[in-house]
């Protein structure tokens, strides 16, 4: 590793990073002002220039959040450093890359809009840079700070941060070797939901060339519904649901209150949660509706799920045994799912119990079905979409092919501590190489290595050979 480190210059000043093994890293690079003081509960503001050369050799802080708890906390790591100056990106690039020469991947992490950070080792971009891609991972405001519905405050501030990060990448990435005309935006889980909103946004869709949506709902809801959790937090704290009241409350207090308000639910079975709100500006309509009707027909699009998304929330905690028939009956009624669909889902894994069947049904309706319908609608207009299902099953904690299981394969990170917690020691390296290569191929030229939906009429399956 070099002592002085490679230096690049962006609009706000010079940055010193590190170089090792042919990969250059610049970490904690600000793309907006810290969202504190007058910038709290306000749109992202430009970053003031700095004097001299800014150190970019270590990860910056994450957004305020609470860690995962219980069995899921043993599987999914949480950021251990939060702070004010968290609106930043990490950049991995091949050493000696010619300015503006390489494709770019901008990554938005998941975490139900309340957790996650670009500092997590799962999102290390080394393998992408090794394979000729400039990889950028961005933080954004989470939870109450980013997705509250408050009187006097703009909606969807976390999404506004992401749009600001995309603008920064478009403007600055040439200095790191990236081609601003070849940007792919990708996200997983909540990050896929927000990426879908960016894709459907009139400006956001013009700033990228391709997009990858992995395991995320394509939904947005009315502000009153999205504001339910904000009202519960306000009640918990004994304050009104207004910008002034929330701004007078510390981030730590808001995180604690939101944690209490959301304790009864999870992304699978529901309960109070943050969501994108239809606002007429950043989210003029549901991303699902926008994508089905042509909002992103100028973009290459790849969409994927795991084939057992639901198992992350049911298997480690044993919640499938507790929920069982009530969840199945309620879900069937709510989503209008009939016996034929249930038989097809049970056919994937005949040994699944009632609770797991209910979880598979919810995953089908919330994640898989919208993707298929978007792909069909695009195909009917002559627009390609590449769709896949990640099917490899882990033996750890009954996870199977659960939500997040694809990430160590996408990032080619098998064998790292975070990956082992999900996959165990027997994950197939060949599948990681193939999955990662598919993402690189799509980022590079729009071809992951299998035919588009119109030529397959179904998802490509990624599994061990």
Cβ neighbours of residue 223 closer than 8 Å, sequence gap 6 or more = 149, 155, 277, 278, 279
The CA distance from 86 to 458, in Å, is 40
Radius of gyration of the chain, Cα coordinates, nearest whole angstrom: 21
Residues 109, 160: Cα–Cα separation, whole Å: 15
Separation of alpha carbons 255 and 282, rounded Å: 25
> Residue 461's CB: how many other CB atoms inside 10 A?
12
SS3 88: strand
Place of tokens 């002034």: 244
Q: What is the dihedral of CA 373, 185, 209, 215, to 10 degrees?
A: -20
Which positions are annotated as active-site residues?
189, 309, 403
Task: Return all residues near 130 (Cβ < 8 A) that are at least 6 apart.
Answer: 22, 23, 94
DSSP string, 189-243: THHHHHHHHHHHSTTGGGS-SEEEEES-----B-HHHHTHHHHHHHHHHT--SBH
- The C-alpha atoms of residue 107 and residue 162 are separated, in whole angstroms, by 10
Local structure of residue 15 (DSSP, 8 states): E
Element (H, E) at 184: strand 178-188
């Amino acid at each position: 590793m070099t002592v002085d480190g490679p230096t690049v210059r962006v609009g706000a000043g010079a940055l010193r990073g590190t170089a090792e093994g042919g990969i250059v890293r610049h970490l904690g690079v600000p793309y907006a002002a810290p969202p504190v003081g007058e910038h709290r509960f306000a749109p992202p503001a430009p970053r003031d220039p700095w004097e001299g050369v800014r150190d970019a050799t270590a990860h910056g802080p994450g957004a305020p959040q609470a860690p995962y708890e219980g069995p899921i906390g043993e599987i999914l790591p949480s950021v251990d450093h939060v702070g004010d100056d968290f609106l930043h990106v990490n950049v991995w690039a091949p050493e000696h890359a010619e300015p503006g020469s390489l494709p770019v991947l901008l990554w938005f992490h998941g975490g139900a809009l309340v957790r996650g950070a670009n500092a997590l080792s799962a999102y290390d971009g080394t393998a992408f840079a090794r394979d000729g891609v400039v990889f950028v991972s961005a933080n954004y405001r989470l939870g109450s700070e980013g997705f509250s519905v408050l009187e006097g405050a703009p909606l969807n501030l976390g999404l506004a941060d992401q749009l600001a990060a995309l603008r920064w990448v478009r403007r600055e990435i040439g200095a790191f070797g990236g081609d601003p005309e070849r940007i792919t935006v990708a996200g997983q889980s909540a990050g896929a939901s927000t990426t879908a909103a960016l894709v459907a946004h009139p400006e956001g869709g013009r700033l990228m060339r391709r997009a990858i949506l992995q395991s995320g709902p394509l939904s947005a809801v009315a502000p009153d519904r999205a504001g339910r959790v904000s009202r519960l937090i306000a009640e918990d704290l004994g304050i009104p649901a207004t910008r002034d009241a929330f701004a007078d409350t510390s981030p730590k207090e808001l995180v604690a209150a939101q944690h209490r308000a959301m304790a009864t639910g999870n992304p699978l079975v529901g309960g109070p949660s943050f969501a994108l709100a239809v606002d007429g500006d950043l989210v003029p309509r549901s991303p699902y509706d926008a994508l089905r009707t042509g909002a992103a027909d100028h973009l290459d699009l790849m969409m994927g799920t795991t084939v057992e998304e639901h198992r992350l929330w049911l298997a480690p905690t044993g919640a499938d045994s507790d929920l069982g028939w009530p969840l199945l009956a309620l879900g069937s009624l709510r989503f209008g799912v009939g016996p034929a669909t249930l038989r097809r889902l049970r056919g994937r894994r005949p040994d699944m119990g009632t609770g797991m069947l209910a979880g598979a049904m919810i995953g089908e309706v919330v994640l898989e079905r919208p993707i298929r319908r978007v792909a069909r609608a695009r195909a009917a207009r002559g627009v390609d979409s590449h769709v896949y299902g990640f099917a490899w099953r882990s033996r750890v904690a009954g996870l199977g092919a659960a939500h997040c299981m694809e990430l160590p394969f996408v990032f080619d990170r098998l064998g790292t501590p975070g990956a082992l917690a999900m996959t165990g020691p027997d994950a197939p390296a060949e599948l990681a190489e193939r999955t990662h290569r598919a993402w690189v191929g799509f980022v590079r030229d729009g071809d992951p290595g299998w035919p588009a939906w119109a030529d397959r009429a179904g998802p490509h399956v990624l599994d061990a050979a």
